[in-house]
Structure 1
Amino acid sequence: MGFVRDFWRNHRRKIFVTAGCVGSGYLLYKLYHAHTRRLADLERELAIERENEELIKTQMKAHFENIQMIADATTLPHAMQYLSGRIMNEIDVSIIMESLNKGKGTLSPSEKLQLWDKLKILSFTRMVLSLWSVTMLSLYIRVQVNILGRHLYIDTARDLGSSHLLEDLDLIDRDDEQKFLSSADFLATRGMPGLISNIQGAVIEVLKGKQLKDVFTTSVLQETVMQILDVFMSTGSPHHWVDYLMIPQETRPSRIDSNSSDNLTKVSPSNVTVAKFDQLMVETREVLTSTEFTNIAEISLKTFTAALVEEMGTEGSLGTGGMPLAKLLPRIEMTIPVVTAEPGKNRFLQLIRDLPEVQLFFTLLYASMPQ
């Protein structure tokens, strides 16, 4: 016992220092172990989050590509077929051309000149009308399906966990979807009369100094078409042309404010449907009146015009020495079926679809999901 006391007295300081070091070491070990475990847990959480992000990106990419396929294979062909028929019926030049053919030797010079001038206006009106309508309708429908697809993705993602696949559920109301997509026919129905009138007005203004004997080359024809498009697009209020593509905003039912106590007792399934449809239409109009859409519309129209004129130039003397305007008019009539051909056979629509600016625009439109 005395040995222990002596040992404690002689080595007490060393024992305290040793115990302190051991205790500190153990505490540091526990802290290091806890820190290491937290880092491992954090790394696992980050790995799971990365996997979920990759899954979402993969699903979004697949969904986006499916949306574009729907536009090309289903919605656009139906609308294009309807549009093509309306253009052919609304502007018919066959009677004028038949009168010119049958009236050889019987018509007076003034009568011939009058018919030729009328044919000049109608031919250019139908060409520019077809070019503008096909271009804008294709862009409009792609805006529609991307907005609709974006809503579908958001609604589905809110109701599903990360372990579910988006394609397993269909949460979009079919009536709303059908009503929204079918509104693309507005151009070929209610929008067509006013559109024809305004495009024809632009044609008359641009062609008033053009004589039937004037020689047209590819560059002159392209410049003339672009002038007509510029006059049409810039005449009237800003974005007036949007009202030819979709129902004018002032004619649609006002949106229902779900936060208003006055409306709580008035909400019915039909009212909810109107509100959903109206929301989609408001978003569509916001896109169409944006600077970004105006830019890609201009790029698409220029690309379409240049490709069409180039194709006309490769089929005759238009691309070399040019030809008189009178001989050009029948050639213009021959281009209408090519311009309004179904999407699968319409190389102009494919050309627009593959433009980098157009692809980027719709990628950003789909990805810019509201919170």
Structure 2
Amino acid sequence: MDKIPTRTTQILATLPEDLDLEKTAEIADKISDAATISSVNAPMLCDTPHEDVFNKLQQQINRLSAQIDRLYTERSSSAHNSYKSQRRSRSNSRGRNDAYCRYHRKFGQAARKCTKPCSFKQRSDSTILHHARKRETPFPTAHEDGVCCWGRECQPSILLTLRAANGSQIQTFGQVSMTLDIGPRRTFQWLFTVAEVKFTILGADFLAHYKLIVDMSKRSLLDQTTNLMNYGVTSTLTSTKLCVALPADNPLKGVLDKFPSLVRPFTYTVTVKHHTVHKIQTFGSPVFPKPRRLSPEKYKQARAEFQHMFLKRHNRKIIFLGIFGSGAVLGYKYFQAKITEIQEKEAEASIAFARKQHHFDCNQRTCNRTALSMLPNLRGAILRIIDTESLTQQLKSSSKNKLQIWEELKLLSFTRTICSVYVCSMLVLLLRVQLNIVGAYIYKEKFSTKMNGMSSHFSNATQNIQGRYLAMLEHLLDQGLKDLVEHVQVAVVKVIGKISLKEKLSSAKVLSIIHQIRMAVECDPDAGATGRSCQKLCTFILPPEEKPDIDVSNNSYEDKLLDKMISETRDVLDSDDFHTVFCSCLDLGFRHLMDRLAENFTSTQTFRPDRANLSEPEVAMAKFIPIINKLIFRLCSEPPNPFFQELLLMEPMKDLAANVYEAFSQETEPSPQMQTGFFLSNLFSKSSSCQGIS
């Protein structure tokens, strides 16, 4: 009894206890014979003897095996013939199948369409097989006529009868074990029932056993084991429903009704592993309900108590955080205020610097225009004091004392040309100093007093004061020029007084003469035999302090301010910076003079093809006098004047102007003596170096 299957044992348990052993064994044999039927459908018992049923099943199996062998043979031969037919010509392939349409010529039995005329005859007793990839056994599909799913030669099975939903009977032909390969990378082996249906049906027990899920939305079959999905094609045929119908005269129907689990589809279920021992089902509110609000009185009390506990526990922390936070806020505000103050100061300084720079540039342009406008007056003053034209007229009209007149003309010509270089440099420097002092006073009056909210009693330079201050230029063009001419004439007489009118002069000789005259004019007895100093020349620019040209005897405000401005100008002229710039201007002027003289030496040179000119060109003193006498009209000519423009655009001149302007535009009063060194020259030299002469 231990070897009897479980289902057979369950059925035998329902038999009467007084039944003998032979009848019980006979019933067990019948149950075991019927056990080969699929568990999907309920069996329908029959009174046919066991031996007859076995013989019929054996014959059916033999026929099915023979049919499968024949189909394999036909498929292999058709594949071999199709390979050969590809190598044949098109005319040979058409010779045998001329009566077939192109669908049957190409697909044969598998053709789904046919065009007339066509003499192809479909086999009615054959079965169409569909081989899936990696499939071990052929899987049967429906025939085109819709009659059989496995083959017409199969014998009907009398052990199982199926009925459709409309009550019609569906013939079965036994069972077959098949291995399917429907895609999810594994094979499925199952015992299928062969029935007379149009399509293949996979039952729920097959899907449940292999954990296959039908996804209707995606039209696919999902394998839970491999997590792969196999997509299908929607069928155009209407679906059918199969049901199991038991005959009314079945003697076991009453027993099976009492035990419905016996005929229920058997599925393999996986037991859930857990450690639950008891299960208690509860009803009502959950164990942890949501918190409910307290009443207003209790809420206030609880809040006050919580605050008291919190403050008592964290009292020091709160005090420390409060002090630290207050300090951080105050520090941040102080830091922000300092940054704002610094930014405002930087902005004010930038604005003041830009304003001062603009005012300084305008002042330099005014100085350049004023200096250029003074050229006609300067030339006229030199020609009036040193009159060589009258001597020239005497040479043309009278024949007496011509040698004496030539000697006098020689001295005056050199004196006038050299004096023009000195006085041009003095005029430019004096104008530059005076106008920058006046401009600094004007800037301090307009802008500095407005920013500081105070005004200085000695900083308001009126138009009257400015006019009286600039009138000191008249001394340079009158008495100062006369004193300069006398001083230069003494040096000229000393150097060229003994040079004969017939003596030949070369450019090197002329350069040596002018250099000797400069040394005699600029030589300072206190500095040694070869010492150069502009201290003596600066005394010709302004009137001496003992005899000023401007009366400042009154004690009025204007007189005091004018006297202060004159004293500051004298301090500037006595400074070493001014002397350095003055010497640079003189060097530039005499270089320009020598360049003009060299042009005359080059133009007078004549080429003699009969002999080589190995020596420098030379000019007699008598011929050189008219050349140097006319240079004043080039040195002091009206604009454009290259010499004067070079003087105005000199870098040392601009540095001196920036130094003077910056020193006198400060809020504090400048010291009596200017500091040596151009400590502020770079501040304005870059911006003012590009300014032109308008």
TM-score (norm 1): 0.81
1:361–1:302: structure 2 CA closer, same or farther, 3 Å change rule?
Answer: same
Select the residue among 405, 418, 422 that pairs with 1:128: 418
Corresponding residue number in structure 2 for 1:284: 569
**Number of aligned residue pairs:** 338
Q: Residues 507 and 601 of structure 2 are in contact (CA less than 8 Å); yes or no, is this contact kept in structure 1? A: no
User: How far apart, CA to CA, are the structure 1 residues paired with 2:657 and 2:514?
Assistant: 27
Q: Residues 601 and 619 of structure 2 are in contact (CA less than 8 Å); yes or no, is this contact kept in structure 1? A: no
1:148–1:188: structure 2 CA closer, same or farther, 3 Å change rule?
Answer: same
Letter of the 1:57 partner, please give it: F
Verify: 1:355 aligned to 2:650, yes or no.
yes
Select the residue among 8, 13, 27 that pairs with 2:323: 27
User: How far apart, CA to CA, are the structure 2 residues paired with 1:222 and 1:96?
Assistant: 26
SS of aligned partner of 1:240: helix
Alignment of 1:167-316 (within 5 A): 172-234=461-523, 239-252=535-548, 267=555, 271-316=556-601
SS of aligned partner of 1:313: helix
**Which consecutive residues of structure 2, in runs of 5 or more, have no partner in the other structure?**
1-301, 454-458, 527-533, 606-615, 669-694
User: How far apart, CA to CA, are the structure 2 residues paired with 1:214 and 1:245?
Assistant: 36
Higher strand share: 2
Corresponding residue number in structure 2 for 1:95: 390
1:13-36 CA deviation, whole Å, 9 max, x = no partner? x97673322321221121111111
1:102–1:235: structure 2 CA closer, same or farther, 3 Å change rule?
Answer: farther
Q: Residues 100 and 115 of structure 1 are in contact (CA less than 8 Å); yes or no, is this contact kept in structure 2? A: yes
Deviates more, 1:222-231 or 1:173-182: 222-231
User: How far apart, CA to CA, are the structure 2 residues paired with 1:218 and 1:136?
Assistant: 27
Deviates more, 1:202-211 or 1:331-340: 202-211
User: How far apart, CA to CA, are the structure 2 residues paired with 1:134 and 1:98?
Assistant: 28
Q: Residues 222 and 306 of structure 1 are in contact (CA less than 8 Å); yes or no, is this contact kept in structure 2? A: no
Q: Which has the higher contact order (CA 8 A, sep 6+)?
A: 1
Return the offset for 1:254: 9.3
User: How far apart, CA to CA, are the structure 1 residues paired with 2:319 and 2:652?
Assistant: 67
Q: Residues 507 and 618 of structure 2 are in contact (CA less than 8 Å); yes or no, is this contact kept in structure 1? A: yes
Letter of the 1:132 partner, please give it: Y
Corresponding residue number in structure 1 for 2:314: 18
User: How far apart, CA to CA, are the structure 2 residues paired with 1:222 and 1:18?
Assistant: 99
1:358–1:17: structure 2 CA closer, same or farther, 3 Å change rule?
Answer: farther
Corresponding residue number in structure 2 for 1:86: 381
Corresponding residue number in structure 1 for 2:663: 368
Corresponding residue number in structure 1 for 2:112: none
SS of aligned partner of 1:160: helix
Return the offset for 1:151: 1.3
Q: Residues 130 and 336 of structure 1 are in contact (CA less than 8 Å); yes or no, is this contact kept in structure 2? A: yes
Q: Residues 79 and 185 of structure 1 are in contact (CA less than 8 Å); yes or no, is this contact kept in structure 2? A: no
Return the offset for 1:233: 2.8
Letter of the 2:588 partner, please give it: T
Return the offset for 1:73: 1.5
Return the offset for 1:102: 4.4
1:104-141 CA deviation, whole Å, 9 max, x = no partner? xx55xxx4432222111100110111111111111111
Letter of the 1:66 partner, please give it: C
1:240–1:148: structure 2 CA closer, same or farther, 3 Å change rule?
Answer: same
Higher helix share: 1
Corresponding residue number in structure 1 for 2:141: none
Letter of the 2:583 partner, please give it: E
Corresponding residue number in structure 1 for 2:403: 113
Question: Identity over aligned residues, as a percent?
Answer: 20
1:213-246 CA deviation, whole Å, 9 max, x = no partner? 4443444434432432332233579833333222
Cα RMSD, aligned residues only: 3.0
User: How far apart, CA to CA, are the structure 2 residues paired with 1:92 and 1:255?
Assistant: 35
Verify: 1:341 aligned to 2:631, yes or no.
no
User: How far apart, CA to CA, are the structure 1 residues paired with 2:584 and 2:317?
Assistant: 76
Q: Residues 150 and 366 of structure 1 are in contact (CA less than 8 Å); yes or no, is this contact kept in structure 2? A: yes
Corresponding residue number in structure 1 for 2:142: none
1:219–1:302: structure 2 CA closer, same or farther, 3 Å change rule?
Answer: farther
